Amino acid sequence: MNLSNVDGSYNFELDVLDEKKICASLPKMNDAHCLNQLKDMGILISDAAINERSCLYEKNPGEIHLLIGADYAGKLLTGNIKHLSGSLVAVQTLLGWTVMGKSDTINTNKSSSLLVLSLHVNNAKISDLWNLDSLGIKEDSAKRTKTETQELVLEHFTETVSRDSTGRYKVNLPWLDGHPPLHDNKELAQKRLKNSVKSLKIKESIK
């Protein structure tokens, strides 16, 4: 795909992937104070200066049709940054100016709700995402307290301990409750034995 800035003075090509929908619509900047600041700085942004009728879109001008990743975005930054009121910052790219940061203007549309949901996910601990306990499928043995585990071990020992003819004590192995039966590896062992015997016969180590 070939991209260019508004006046066509800069353009470049990039490889893109096609998706039916990239993300929700981007809310249009409507902070009058910040718009006036940008105007005083001579900064042109499409939200305020471009006629929506000249933009290509299907349902609304806030649609996102292209998402530029970090593999290209870094090459487009010029290093020119202007701080606006509040937490907003105007950043210049080779394709034009863009505004980023937190706005004090309240916006209740769908995209704002999606942003809040995304922030909640990003603030979660990554370790919790793969923790079995978070998924509700943690094994019962892992949920028991140390005292409960010790009591079960003592009970198992008392019920299974015995003494053989030589006077030695023996205890059954403490199998996990509800654990599926272990697979039999007899076939695998026989196959390895046959391969070993075959190899030794080839080397004439055995007859």
pLDDT in tens, 59-70: 666 677 788 888
Q: Which has the minimum average pLDDT: 3-17, 123-137, 144-158?
A: 123-137
Q: Which two tokens stand for residue 78?
A: 């010029």
Note whether 82 and 39 are within 8 A (CB).
no
Tell me what the mean pLDDT of segment 145-173 comes to.
88
Most confident of 58-72, 138-152, 193-207: 193-207
Residue type, 171: V
Residue 162 pLDDT level (bands cut at 50, 70, 90):
very high
Q: Which has the minimum average pLDDT: 131-135, 144-148, 152-156, 169-173?
A: 131-135
**pTM summary value:** 0.45
Q: Specify the pLDDT at position 175.
A: 75
Note whether 30 and 48 are within 8 A (CB).
no
- Tell me how far apart the alpha carbons of residues 36 and 197 are, in angstroms, rounded to a whole number: 88
Q: Specify the pLDDT at position 116.
A: 44
Handedness of CA 107, 109, 113, 118 (dihedral sign): negative
User: Does 119 score more than 50 pLDDT?
Assistant: no
- Tell me how far apart the alpha carbons of residues 158 and 156 are, in angstroms, rounded to a whole number: 6
User: Does 5 score more than 60 pLDDT?
Assistant: yes
- Which one, of 14, 5, 20, lies nearest residue 71 by Cα? 14
User: Does 176 score more than 50 pLDDT?
Assistant: yes
* More confident site: 21 or 49: 21
User: Does 131 score more than 70 pLDDT?
Assistant: no
What is the overall mean pLDDT for the chain? 75
- Tell me how far apart the alpha carbons of residues 91 and 73 are, in angstroms, rounded to a whole number: 12
Question: Per-residue pLDDT tens for 73-115?
Answer: 888 889 899 888 778 888 988 888 888 887 766 555 555 444 4
Q: Exposed, middle or buried, 106 (CB in 10 Å: 0-12/13-18/19+)?
A: exposed
- Tell me how far apart the alpha carbons of residues 207 and 197 are, in angstroms, rounded to a whole number: 10
User: Does 122 score more than 60 pLDDT?
Assistant: no
Tell me what the mean pLDDT of segment 121-147 comes to.
57
Residue 56 pLDDT level (bands cut at 50, 70, 90):
low
Alpha helices in 103-202 (DSSP H): 110-123, 126-130, 132-135, 140-143, 146-160, 186-202
